[in-house]
Structure 1
Amino acid sequence: MADYPQTEPLFARTWRFPSEGYPSRSSMDDMLDALLPGIEALPGYRGVTVLVEHGTGAVLATVFWDSEEHLRAAMARETNAARGTLVLTGGDASESATHDVLINRPAPPVFDRDLGRVGR
């Protein structure tokens, strides 16, 4: 394994939102434009990854925080954002979990990507 510098702790909360179908790009843009800025402005925010599950269209979001304290303090704001996401995905429930981040080797940045499916 390559040598990487020692880093500060990183914490994450992962959300999963079932969807009635594969979301459109415009609905994803609406969700991100309406909900993400409020989370990005919170103390300790370190990034987010949003995925769309092939086959089901479920939306998965992982929000990264610099401390467990900031992660816990953001819970109410993230829960409000989750409710908004349910409206956009047509789901009726979400699941969430908190994590200690063991390894985060960033993938190349991806911004404003068209939604697509493998093998389409």
Structure 2
Amino acid sequence: MTGQPDLPSSTWSCTDGTARVVSSEPGTVRVQLAGEIDLTNSDDLGRWLAEWHVATLQIDLRQVRFLAVCGARRLAVLRTELDAGSRRLQVIPPDDVVIRRVLDALGPFELVESEAGAPG
């Protein structure tokens, strides 16, 4: 036994979507989501994301082509759970105006624009 906490798998996938850890620094994990986040996968994805016990969880949505309201709602629930534990959820939004509107409707989310060095 190493005394280190068990870490979740660095990838998650389903028929229509994937998630993978693209960077991990002390206290921060950035997860890139791709594909579709909808009724068929949002709860499972939310459970996987909730397993990351870090001070800041960054969710990169730039590769998401469809975000259903239930998917954004699951991210909002995750944000509330993290806030309750004095942790942060940051969202890197896509250029897609429809997805941004869904996020705005269910936010507020801490939006972090794409930065130099952020995988895209």
Shared fold (TM-score, shorter chain, > 0.5): no
Structure number with the bigger relative contact order (C-alpha 8 A, sep ≥ 6) is 1
The structure that is strand-richer by fraction is 2
User: TM-score, normalising length from structure 1?
Assistant: 0.35
User: TM-score, normalising length from structure 2?
Assistant: 0.35
